[in-house]
Structure 1
């Protein structure tokens, strides 16, 4: 399992060297976008609208937009120094609480923790202490250059870090539109709803639930592939390159001469022919 982060978890005077691994994975079926005409993948480029050209990675800087089109630019060294200041701090468990005291809206992403070399005994100590007390730890840590509030708890026999949102990251529920006020619900309707809930109540079994859309989509893709309903992207046409500078200059000169010859021929075709004199005009000229 890939190690995403290495550090130290501490509570009191106990330090636990640990490694962090992603506990979940996104299994969404990723679809590419193709050009309908030639079945080639669409390319997205980073361009500057002012300079009207594609921008390379080394030309890009990070900035914070504090007002419309007004920015504070932050260079890589400043950001790296800030990151090091926080990364050097051990992940300290500051509080212990009960899991049920935290509303699920705060939970974000899960990571498994494994002990680093020499950390097995302290790892087992924290695991046993959490299990016996029924508590979870609240800690702060840096993940991917961002400070995270986190929960440290047990999942089966493994310590898990569960990142949680800071309070100011959870939007005010009062801003949700069209939420009805509490109303008197007819007893008969309420009793029927409770009866339905009782009938559907069971023990949670995660294996029971499947992503039916993803399975159907994968089946459809496999079926079309087996029936050879497939396409291959065309190679990008490469422009013919002149072998050297003299060839390029000669080609340009030849093209220019050809264009001039065409223009001359077109002008000669358009020149009006001289009118022939009538017999009357000839007699007048003779007199």
Structure 2
């Protein structure tokens, strides 16, 4: 796997050469767009608005429109010339608690892997942050953008999370009324939450819809009739307390008996 970014984690006078590798992948089924008449592939061509000719990526340059139809061209060399040494490194700004960063700020995850000569300093940083229960807030330039980062130690490595800036976060589109809840309702809701509490085990979850989609495609290829999925009946919630009580009873009946194997959550393999 090719590295997405190379640089060094830098804090104080310590520099740790690392490479970043994407930590997630897209497993969704993707479809091609076809012409309805003859099922030919729909193609998208890049054409020049001036001469009308089709162009390829090698014919394209980056231009900033500073006035109507007036552009200044910026090349890859130009982008590199304005980068400082700090821009080329992952500069740790400070350390903080993981809980201090709201989930809405997280964007994309990378595995950080030490390059030759950086193993010991990398492991020292990982262990120190892990034992102090701290993460680092850092920044670097990736591509043509200065990116805010969270450096997060794990049991076996370090994750780098790209973060949104505050001005990139949208306001809540609509406020809700925050109606009052009674102590009895709150206690019942807490009981339900605790009755459904269990450790997060990511290997137990799977994308059930994608599996049904794969089955649909296989049935289509085999020329079989597509049968609609069985719909679960949803009861109308009339009384909140009654719904909570029924949910607690249902959660209790789903718990494994003592000495038995734990029941997997819905969607477990």
TM-score by length of structure 1 reads 0.69
Matching of residue 81 in structure 1 with residue 94 in structure 2: no
Are the aligned partners of 1:61 and 1:73 in contact in 2 as well (CA < 8 Å)? no
Matching of residue 222 in structure 1 with residue 218 in structure 2: yes
Q: C-alpha distance in 2, partners of 1:24/1:139?
A: 21
CA shift for structure 1 position 80? 3.7
User: Aligned in 2, Cα 1:193/1:63: closer, same or farther, shift over 3 Å?
Assistant: farther
TM-score by length of structure 2 reads 0.73
Are the aligned partners of 1:4 and 1:22 in contact in 2 as well (CA < 8 Å)? yes
Partner SS state of residue 20, structure 1: strand
What does residue 155 of structure 2 align with?
156
Matching of residue 97 in structure 1 with residue 93 in structure 2: no
Q: C-alpha distance in 1, partners of 2:221/2:46?
A: 33
Q: C-alpha distance in 2, partners of 1:115/1:199?
A: 43
CA shift for structure 1 position 156? 2.7
What does residue 267 of structure 1 align with?
none
CA shift for structure 1 position 225? 3.2
User: Aligned in 2, Cα 1:73/1:119: closer, same or farther, shift over 3 Å?
Assistant: same
Partner SS state of residue 20, structure 2: strand
**Which piece of structure 1 moves more, 193-202 or 144-153?**
193-202
Are the aligned partners of 2:2 and 2:21 in contact in 1 as well (CA < 8 Å)? yes
Partner SS state of residue 75, structure 1: strand
Q: C-alpha distance in 2, partners of 1:4/1:220?
A: 35
Are the aligned partners of 2:149 and 2:160 in contact in 1 as well (CA < 8 Å)? yes
What does residue 147 of structure 1 align with?
146
**Aligned pair partner of 2:191 in 195, 207, 211:** 195
User: Aligned in 2, Cα 1:71/1:110: closer, same or farther, shift over 3 Å?
Assistant: farther
Q: C-alpha distance in 2, partners of 1:118/1:104?
A: 34
CA shift for structure 1 position 192? 3.8
Matching of residue 205 in structure 1 with residue 201 in structure 2: yes
Q: Deviations over 1:217-250 (max 9, x none)?
A: 1222233335599xxxxxxxxxxxxxxxxxxxxx
What does residue 235 of structure 2 align with?
none
Partner SS state of residue 7, structure 1: strand
Q: C-alpha distance in 1, partners of 2:65/2:207?
A: 39
Q: Deviations over 1:37-66 (max 9, x none)?
A: 211100112345675554554654434568
Matches within 5 A, 1:38-117: 38-47=38-47, 54-57=54-57, 60-64=60-64, 70=68, 73-77=71-75, 80-86=77-83, 88-89=85-86, 90-117=89-116
Are the aligned partners of 2:93 and 2:138 in contact in 1 as well (CA < 8 Å)? yes
Q: Deviations over 1:247-281 (max 9, x none)?
A: xxxxxxxxxxxxxxxxxxxxxxxxxxxxxxxxxxx
Compare the two structures and name the one with the higher helix fraction. Answer: 1
| Structure 2: 5+ residue stretches without partners | 226-269
| Structure 1: 5+ residue stretches without partners | 230-287
Q: C-alpha distance in 1, partners of 2:72/2:212?
A: 46
Partner SS state of residue 95, structure 2: strand
RMSD: 2.7
Partner SS state of residue 35, structure 2: coil
How many pairs were matched up? 223
User: Aligned in 2, Cα 1:156/1:70: closer, same or farther, shift over 3 Å?
Assistant: farther
User: Aligned in 2, Cα 1:132/1:64: closer, same or farther, shift over 3 Å?
Assistant: same
Q: C-alpha distance in 1, partners of 2:91/2:56?
A: 40
Q: C-alpha distance in 2, partners of 1:30/1:180?
A: 37
